[in-house]
Amino acid sequence: MRKIVLLDLDSTLLQVDMDQFLKHYLGRLQAFAPPEWRAALIPNLLASTQLMIADDDATRLCADVFWDDFSQRMGEKREHLEPYFDRFYREDYVALAELVQEKEATPRLLRWLGDNDYSIVIATNPLFPPLAIEHRLVWAGAAMSDYDYLRVTHYENSHASKPHPAYYVEILAQVGYQPSDAVMVGDDWGNDMLPAMSLGMATYWITSEGGNEVPDEEKRPDGQGSLAEFLALCQDGWLERI
């Protein structure tokens, strides 16, 4: 069986400074809100997001954890709040595209994996609705309409988020692969590498130019480097050797 390849999105397939991106994202989200929500919106959003990250209840979708808490904090029903977010992602979120860059290696990697019959999962932290993730995939040159992904995680189809190992367990159960048949590719040591390693998955750590020092010498990824270097390794048969 060929290995399944799980690919993180932000700072892996998509070049983005997440601190700057989140700053502008939150600013635009607040400005887009009705005046009566603006003061409370961002503090409550951040608190509910942290609760969603902490929760790994296998019976509750991430979206439900978020909305149950957020609507209570805001004193509004979910059905009143959710349409505002939906309009934001359709009308205003797209302006954030100017803060990101497509990596030249991304479409090349995806085409190569597809041409060589490797299954692909977009394993991005499921803290956003599908539309937000679809936009970022387009910005990365990895649009859902262009590639046959086995799964794209978002907060409406996931019961745990990173760094919970349960996030990866759920993905593999959904797609029918064992951890020993999976490779996780991502830039974040704590969110991507450690939980995948803990399950026995192979790992490739996307590092900055010049490489990063491994935080724990006893836990080393199977490979590390740029996305372009990962593609070169794949073309050299690395996925079949690990």
CA 235 to chain centre: 25
Confidence of residue 210 (pLDDT cuts 50, 70, 90): low
Q: Are the C-beta atoms of residues 85 and 119 closer than 8 Å to each other? A: no
Pair of tokens at residue 224: 């590390």
What is the pTM for the complete model shown? 0.95
User: Do the bridges between strand 120-122 and strand 14-16 make them parallel or antiparallel, or are there none, so unpaired?
Assistant: unpaired
Residue 171 pLDDT > 90, yes or no?
A: yes
Whether 230 shows a pLDDT value over 90: the answer reads yes
* Amino acid code (one letter) for 86: D
Confidence of residue 211 (pLDDT cuts 50, 70, 90): low
Give the tens place of pLDDT for each residue, 17-49: 999 999 999 999 999 999 999 999 999 999 999
Q: Alpha carbon 176 to chain centroid distance?
A: 20
